[in-house]
Amino acid sequence: RKSVDNMYRLIWGYTAQGDYKKAIDLANDFLSTQLDADLTPRALLVQGYAFNKLGKLPEAFASYQLVVENFPATPYAAKATQLAAMNYYRAGQFKAVTTQVNSLWESIDNGVRNHYPETLYWLAQAHLKLRHGDEAESLFKEFAKVAPPRHPWLPQALRAQALASALGKSSETALPILQRAYQNASDIGDRALMGKLTLDMANISFNAKKYEKAAGFYRQMEQVDPKNEKLPFALFQGGVALYRSSYYTDAIDNSMKLVRQFPKDPRAPDALFRASKTWFDLAKFTEAIAGFEDLMRNYPLTDFAKDSLLQIGQAYYNDKNFTKAIDTYKDFLTKYPRDP
């Protein structure tokens, strides 16, 4: 028994040192001479890992397949399918996950599958990548059902389940799942995931034209995760949602917050133009002119700068300051003589 243990330790040691070819050769020697209920599947798992590190996915899969075929009622079988799924998924071979890995998964003892459900997660993610919404939703739902309540993957699985359900379906289907995922993320204190989930809820509501609800979620995301890299997007979309909900002053405030906090964001000139145009539509011409002038000064090379000059002339005209309106129109014609 001691020599068997030592040989396994050598296989593992070479793998840990990055000498994957040596580890594979030793594993082949070990597997050709030994059959041990504990060390044989472990050696096959290490061998599969080494093949994967060398970029030999079919050979890695063959090692994992041997684990499943010979030890289907053990946790090693579940680990083998999980590693196979991860390898193919990370290589972008989503079809291999949904076919080859799924075939392995279905041959494992049910009790083992329920205790080690991580492969379900990768199968679902692969279906989601292939835009198989129903299959992905069903698998994520199954994972959420059998995974421990505090499984670290559960909030992300619930998020993905909701996104899968939203493929071609109504927001009413997706939002409750996302809210459950949000609660799970809140329970484990994962504010980054809470921010992502809130943004998901905002986007789904926005796409469903439920703008007031969307605006609330965009605002919530800003509070939950103020350092989120998608915050400029959330501020911009929140401004649009508020405008479409007829909360015009709030829409202006949202747009201007984006301009002040992220002046170099590519959405900033658009946001400033929208805020200034809203002032214009509210007949607050002084504020509108100041906003358009600010845009021309800070973003002079954008199309919004050209449009702003024309809007300034119109604002002066509507405010009955005809002299300045004429001067502004003349300035526009001088700067943009070929504009239709």
pLDDT band of residue 246 (cuts 50, 70, 90) is very high
Give the pLDDT confidence of 197-220 residue by residue, as tens digits: 999 999 989 988 999 999 999 999
Q: Residue 103 carries which side chain, given as an amino acid letter? A: S
Half-sphere exposure of 250 (CA within 13 A, CB side): 15
pLDDT of residue 121: 96
Give the pLDDT confidence of 108-148 residue by residue, as tens digits: 998 899 889 999 999 999 999 999 988 998 999 999 999 99
Crossing angle (nearest 10°) for helices 154-165 and 191-207? 10
> Who's near 272: CB < 8 A, 6+ residues apart?
255, 256, 259, 291, 294, 295, 298, 299, 304
Spatial separation of the C-alpha atoms in residues 49 and 60, rounded to whole Å: 7
> Who's near 213: CB < 8 A, 6+ residues apart?
205
Give the pLDDT confidence of 9-58 residue by residue, as tens digits: 999 999 999 999 999 999 999 888 867 888 999 999 999 999 999 999 99
90 vs 184, residue with greater confidence:
90
pLDDT at position 167 over 80:
no
Distance of CA 71 to the CA centre of its chain: 36
Contact 299, 269 (CB under 8 A): yes
Whole-number CA gyration radius for the chain: 29
Burial class (CB in 10 A: 0-12, 13-18, 19+), 138: middle
pLDDT at position 100 over 60:
yes
CA angle 233, 236, 239 (to 5 degrees): 145
> Who's near 160: CB < 8 A, 6+ residues apart?
124, 125, 128, 136, 140
Joined together, the tokens standing for residue 168 give: 């071609």
Contact 124, 136 (CB under 8 A): yes
